Structure 1
Amino acid sequence: ETFGTQVLNWWKLLNPTWRQACPSGEFLQSGEGDWGVLDVSGRNGLLSVLACMRWWHDLGAEDMNSNPQWIYISKDVSWVV
């Protein structure tokens, strides 16, 4: 697994259980519920996700704007924030 795949899988695990996923595994950017699981400090908090995204971007050998995993997580994290 690449670092990016690991970050994406971790992001999916951190999200609240009420978020629904498409058949492709990506979360729908809709719905309402408690976001408390992401409102934590430490290694499983939103700041850690943003830091890992930065590292992933900096490690990216290819154009990150054409990487489908990067595009998805960027849009989804932006929607959540």
Structure 2
Amino acid sequence: MIENDDDYLITFLKRQLGIYKKLGDLSTLCGNEIFFIIFSPAGKPFTFGHLSIESIANRFLNGNIPMIDDAHALIEAHRRW
């Protein structure tokens, strides 16, 4: 466990950048939009993702989730990214 508050914040920020990179990779690989919220140790929210969480939430809540059948296209999109 990290005792020092400054060390804790630095670790959080480093891990946050790693999470954002993985989310970007996942979004590219799957061809989906992602919205992610993470809270700092001080309780400040940080977000990653599509500009409108409302559009993502509405699609999810309405069951309007697009399906992608072409796995090859996803792999090629990931390679180009």
Query: Normalising by the residue count of structure 1, what TM-score does the alignment of the two structures yield?
Result: 0.32
Larger Rg: 2
More strand by share: 2
User: Greater RCO between the two (CA within 8 Å, min separation 6)?
Assistant: 1
Query: Normalising by the residue count of structure 2, what TM-score does the alignment of the two structures yield?
Result: 0.32
